C-alpha cells in the first residue's frame, strides 16, 4: 500500500507540474501577443524573467478590470481562454508607423476567399451590414470592388496565411485587422477554423466583422465590456448607434412555404419583410441584400405589418401595429388613426399605393379602405369587401405591391398578378420566385 500510494502521489505531482507548465506557456503566448511580453529568457535567467511576466499579467488584469494580483488566478485564466480578436490590447496593429485614419471618405472593400460555413450571398450581406455600422456612425462611404486592389480586403484563412500573424485553430483568435494604409493596411482576416454563422450559434460573422472593421478604420480596443471594440467575443454588444442582440437566424428565402408580412418598392429597389428579417432586391442587380431589419433601419425594433411607397413624395411608409413610421426618419411615428381609420382598426394586413389613381389601399381582414393621397383624406363609401372589388381574391391579403401597372397580391406562399384596369387576376406564381428561387 505504501509503495502504491507513493507511486500515485508521484504521478499526480507530475501531472500537476505538467498542467501548470502548460498553463504558464499558454499564458506566455497570450501576454507576448496581446501585451508585448518579451520573448522567454533562458532558464538560467528565469528569476529575472518572472518579474516582467508578473508585470504583464497585472497589465492584462488592469485592462479587463480584474484584481491586479499578478498571479494566474481562475478569473484571469478564464479571460485568457475566451475567444477574442487577434489585435494587441496595448499596441497599434499596424505595418506603417501608426497611420490611424484614411485620408479619404470613400473606402473600397473586396471579399477574396470565402468561408464554407455560409452561402456567399450571406457572407456578402453580413460584411456589407458590418460596414454599414461604421457608415452610419461616420461620414465614410463603403463601396464594394470586384478587384484585388481594394482598401479593405476581406479573407478567410487558417494558421499561417502570409501576414506574420498566423491563426491558432478553433476558439482562440477569431480574426484580426490592420489599421489604415497601403498594401495590407485596412485588411481584415477571419480564422476559417471557427464556425461562422449569422445567428447566435458558433461565432456571429456580423458582430466579429463590425469589430474588425473598427480596426480597419484606425480604432483600438476599448476597456468597456459593452463596447463594440472590446477585445473578447460577446453575442450582445453596444454598436456605435444601437444595441444588437445576436439571436436572429437567417431565413431560407427559397423555402417552399415562404410568405411575406409586407412588400414595398422604395426607389429602384423592392423590400420584402418577414418577421424581423428583410430582403432588399435592386431592380438592376442580381444580388440580394438580407439581414435583420434593424441592420438596415436601426430605429425599427418590431416586425412590419404593411408598407407602401409614394413616389411623388419619395417616401416609404412602414406600418407596425397602430403606428406608421417613415423610412427617412424611422423614429418619427404617427398613429394610423391620423389616416381616418375608426378606433377598432388596430392592425393593417397590407397596403399598396396606386400611382395611376393617387390612392393608397389598406387591406384589413376581408375589407379594404381607399385613401386619397392628394387630399389626405379617406375616400367616402369605404370600407368595401375585397371579394366584391377584386375578383378572384376571396381571402386575407398578406402583402401587396404596385409595379408596372399591376398589383401583386401576396397570399401565403403565392403571388397573384392583378390587372387593375381589367379588374381580374391574370397570373400567379410562388412568392419565393421574387427572390430568385
Report the alpha-carbon distance of residue 86 to residue 191 in Å, rounded. Answer: 10
- Cβ atoms of 235 and 225 closer than 8 Å: no
Residue 44 labelled as part of a binding site: no
Closest CA to 348 of 367, 327, 374: 367
Residue 261: partners with Cβ closer than 8 Å, 6 or more residues away: 273, 274, 275, 303, 304, 305, 306, 398, 399
Residue 353 marked ligand-binding = no
Identified catalytic residue from 212, 245, 301, 429: 212
> Computed over its alpha carbons, how large is the radius of gyration of the chain?
28
* Annotation says 245 is catalytic: no
Is 256 marked as a binding-site residue? Answer: no
Nearest CA to 144 out of 115, 169, 120 is that of 120
DSSP 3-state of 292: strand
**Cα–Cα separations (whole angstroms), residue 380 to 347, 357, 369, 371, 384:** 21, 15, 9, 9, 10
Q: Which residues contact 41 (CB under 8 A, 6 or more apart)?
A: 48, 49
Task: Confirm whether residue 275 is marked as ligand binding.
Answer: no
Distance between CA atoms of 241 and 224, rounded to whole angstroms? 15
| Cα–Cα distance for residue pair 436/286, rounded to 1 Å | 8
- 20 assigned to a ligand binding site: no
Distances (CA, A) of 4 to 1, 7, 8: 5, 5, 6
Cα-based angle 290, 295, 301 (whole degrees, multiple of 5): 115
* Nearest residue to 237 via CA among 210, 217, 202: 210
Would you say 124 is a known binding-site residue? no
Q: Is 3 annotated as a binding residue?
A: no
267 marked as part of a ligand binding site: no
Q: Is 12 annotated as a binding residue?
A: no
CB-based contact 323:313 (threshold 8 Å) = no
Q: Flag whether 189 is marked binding.
A: yes
**Is 33 marked as a binding-site residue?**
no
389 labelled as ligand-binding? no
Structural contact between residues 273 and 319, judged by C-beta atoms closer than 8 angstroms: no
Query: 169 labelled as ligand-binding?
Result: yes
Q: Is 218 annotated as a binding residue?
A: no
> Is residue 59 marked as binding?
no
Residue 297 among known ligand-binding residues? no
Strands 188-191 and 152-157: parallel
Q: Is 301 annotated as a binding residue?
A: no
Question: Residue 3 and residue 14: Cα distance in Å, rounded?
Answer: 17
Length of the chain: 437
* 92 has binding-site annotation: no
Residues 368 and 361: their CA atoms lie apart, in Å, by 7
351 annotated binding-site participant: yes
Asked whether the beta carbons of 200 and 121 are under 8 A apart, the reply is no
Binding positions for Ca(2+): 117, 151, 168-169, 185, 187, 191-192, 194, 261, 305, 307, 351, 398
Catalytic positions are 212
Q: Which residues are annotated as a binding site?
A: 85, 117, 151, 161, 163, 168-169, 176, 185, 187, 189, 191-192, 194, 211, 215, 221, 229, 261, 305, 307, 351, 398
Known binding positions for Zn(2+): 85, 161, 163, 176, 189, 211, 215, 221, 229
Amino acid at each position: 500500500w505504501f509503495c502504491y500510494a507513493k507511486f500515485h502521489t508521484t504521478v499526480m505531482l507530475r501531472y500537476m507540474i505538467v498542467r501548470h507548465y502548460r498553463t504558464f506557456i499558454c499564458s506566455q503566448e497570450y501576454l507576448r501577443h496581446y501585451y508585448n511580453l518579451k520573448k522567454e529568457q533562458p532558464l538560467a535567467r528565469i528569476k529575472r524573467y518572472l518579474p516582467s511576466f508578473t508585470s504583464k499579467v497585472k497589465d492584462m488584469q488592469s485592462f479587463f478590470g480584474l484584481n491586479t494580483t499578478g498571479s494566474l488566478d481562475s478569473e484571469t485564466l478564464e479571460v485568457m481562454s475566451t475567444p477574442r480578436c487577434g489585435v494587441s490590447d496595448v499596441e497599434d496593429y499596424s505595418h506603417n508607423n501608426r497611420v490611424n485614419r484614411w485620408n479619404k471618405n470613400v473606402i473600397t472593400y473586396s471579399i477574396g476567399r470565402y468561408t464554407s460555413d455560409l452561402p456567399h450571398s450571406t457572407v456578402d450581406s453580413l460584411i456589407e451590414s458590418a460596414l454599414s455600422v461604421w457608415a452610419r456612425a461616420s461620414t465614410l462611404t463603403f463601396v464594394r470592388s470586384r478587384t484585388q486592389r481594394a482598401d479593405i480586403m476581406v479573407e478567410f484563412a487558417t494558421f499561417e496565411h502570409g501576414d506574420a500573424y498566423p491563426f491558432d485553430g478553433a476558439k482562440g483568435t477569431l480574426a484580426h485587422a490592420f489599421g489604415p494604409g497601403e498594401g495590407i493596411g485596412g485588411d481584415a482576416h477571419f480564422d476559417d477554423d471557427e464556425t461562422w454563422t449569422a445567428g447566435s450559434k458558433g461565432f456571429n460573422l456580423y458582430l466579429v466583422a463590425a469589430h474588425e472593421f473598427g480596426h480597419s478604420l484606425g480604432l483600438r480596443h476599448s476597456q468597456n465590456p459593452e463596447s463594440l471594440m472590446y477585445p473578447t467575443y460577446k453575442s450582445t454588444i453596444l454598436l456605435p448607434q444601437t444595441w444588437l442582440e445576436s439571436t436572429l437566424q437567417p431565413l431560407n428565402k427559397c423555402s417552399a412555404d415562404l410568405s411575406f408580412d409586407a412588400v414595398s418598392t422604395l426607389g429602384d429597389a423592392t423590400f420584402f419583410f418577414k418577421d424581423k428579417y428583410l430582403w432588399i432586391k435592386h431592380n438592376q442587380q442580381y444580388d440580394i441584400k438580407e439581414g435583420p431589419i434593424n441592420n438596415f433601419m436601426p430605429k425599427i425594433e418590431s416586425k412590419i405589418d404593411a408598407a407602401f411607397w409614394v413616389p411623388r413624395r419619395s417616401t416609404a411608409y412602414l406600418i407596425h401595429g397602430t403606428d406608421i413610421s417613415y423610412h427617412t426618419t424611422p423614429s418619427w411615428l404617427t398613429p394610423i388613426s391620423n389616416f381616418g381609420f375608426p378606433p377598432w382598426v388596430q392592425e393593417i394586413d397590407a397596403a399598396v399605393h396606386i400611382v395611376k389613381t393617387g390612392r393608397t389601399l389598406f387591406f384589413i381582414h376581408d375589407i379594404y379602405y381607399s385613401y386619397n393621397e392628394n387630399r389626405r383624406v379617406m375616400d367616402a363609401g369605404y370600407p368595401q369587401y375585397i371579394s366584391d372589388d377584386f375578383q378572384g381574391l376571396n381571402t386575407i391579403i398578406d402583402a401587396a405591391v404596385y409595379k408596372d401597372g399591376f398589383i401583386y397580391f401576396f397570399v401565403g406562399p403565392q403571388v397573384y398578378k392583378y390587372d387593375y384596369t381589367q379588374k381580374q387576376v391574370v397570373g400567379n406564381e410562388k412568392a419565393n420566385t421574387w427572390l430568385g428561387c
